[in-house]
Amino acid sequence: MTPPTWQTDPTHSLRVPAHGATFDAYVSRPDATACPVIVVLHEVFGANADIRSTCDELAQAGFIAVAPDLFWRQERGVDLSVRSQPDWEKGVSLYEAFDIDAGVRDVEATVEVARTLPGVTGRVGVMGFCLGGLLTYLTAARTSIDAAVAFHGGRTEEFLDEAADIDVPLQMHLAAADEFIPPVAQRAITAALAHQPTVEIHSYAGCKHAFSRHGGLHYDANAAQLSRQRTLDFFRLHLRSNP
């Protein structure tokens, strides 16, 4: 594999080789060395301000955060506003045309590069939101990572035949009033993963989709804070402990 290209501040960028091409990723890192990496997977808005803020928060907590541009095969550098209707419509269009299997392979490529970055421990987790949440679930089922956290992964119920393949620590966050993941889908997800010893699922009563999104219409401060603390505790347990 082509050696990764590392570009330090202020560019915050990383170039990931993938199947004869390359795509970019946003990087935020703490001052400390010997840190684990968390690969952060975006939703329909691309690697936008919300995702970059999430990466920066993870860096403040002592992790190197890497957010790949998952839409690169369709359009590079997608950076959409969570408050714009035209941006929402564009994001949905990209989402509907997105190749899920290729996306998982791109996440896997990002993980492989992340393990080789300067100053890392070699341990890598993945977390994602909506589309990224689904890709997190599938990455946990199909590839080799050290831990995963999925926020309201849309369409997860369509891939429950892969639940038995998950043998890494996986934490899931579901919004009880999610308008895109109805109760019947949430019950199916919970039932399929109920006997997986490495999986834990948290539900947030009264919350709608993307309840933790910075600046989102359905942002719930209490649920967002709780879910983020659970996420940090989970990654600290599984990425900073010995393999």
* pLDDT, tens digit, 9 for 90 and up, residues 162-178: 999 999 999 999 999 99
> How many other CB atoms are found less than 10 A from the CB of residue 108?
18
Phi-psi sector, 142: left (phi>0), alpha (psi -120 to 50), beta: alpha
pLDDT at 7: 36
Q: How confident is the model at residue 241 (pLDDT cuts 50, 70, 90)?
A: low
Cα separation, 124 vs 217, whole angstroms: 31
pLDDT recorded at residue 163: 97
55 is catalytic: no
Q: Among 178, 207, 220, 238, which one carries the catalytic annotation?
A: 178
Q: Which of 24, 130, 146, 207 is catalytic?
A: 130
Q: How far is residue 182 from each of residues 104, 174, 176, measured CA to CA in Å? A: 24, 10, 8
pLDDT digits (tens, 9 = 90+) for 28-74: 999 888 899 999 999 999 999 999 999 999 999 999 999 999 999 99
Q: What is the pLDDT of residues 184-226, one digit of tens each?
A: 999 999 999 999 999 999 999 999 999 999 988 899 999 999 9
The verdict on domain 5-239 having CATH code 3.30.360.10 is no
- Whether 87 is catalytic: no
- What pTM value is reported for the model? 0.94
Q: What is the pLDDT of residue 12?
A: 78
In the chain, what's the furthest Cα-to-Cα distance? 47
Q: Is cis: bond before 10, omega within 30 of 0?
A: yes
Percent of the chain with pLDDT over 70: 94
What is the C-alpha end-to-end distance of the chain, expressed in Å? 25
- Exactly one of 12, 42, 209, 238 is catalytic; which is it? 209
Task: Encode pLDDT of 92-106 as tens digits.
Answer: 999 999 999 999 999
**Domain ranges (residues) in the chain:** 5-239
At 166, list the tokens.
């998950």
Average pLDDT score, the chain: 93
Cα Rg, the chain, nearest whole Å: 16
* Six-digit token string for 196: 């997986």
Which of the two residues, 183 and 10, has the higher pLDDT score? 183
Would the pLDDT of 3 be above 60? no
- Has 178 been annotated as catalytic? yes
- Answer whether 222's CB lies under 8 Å from 205's CB: no
What's the rounded mean pLDDT across residues 111-122?
92
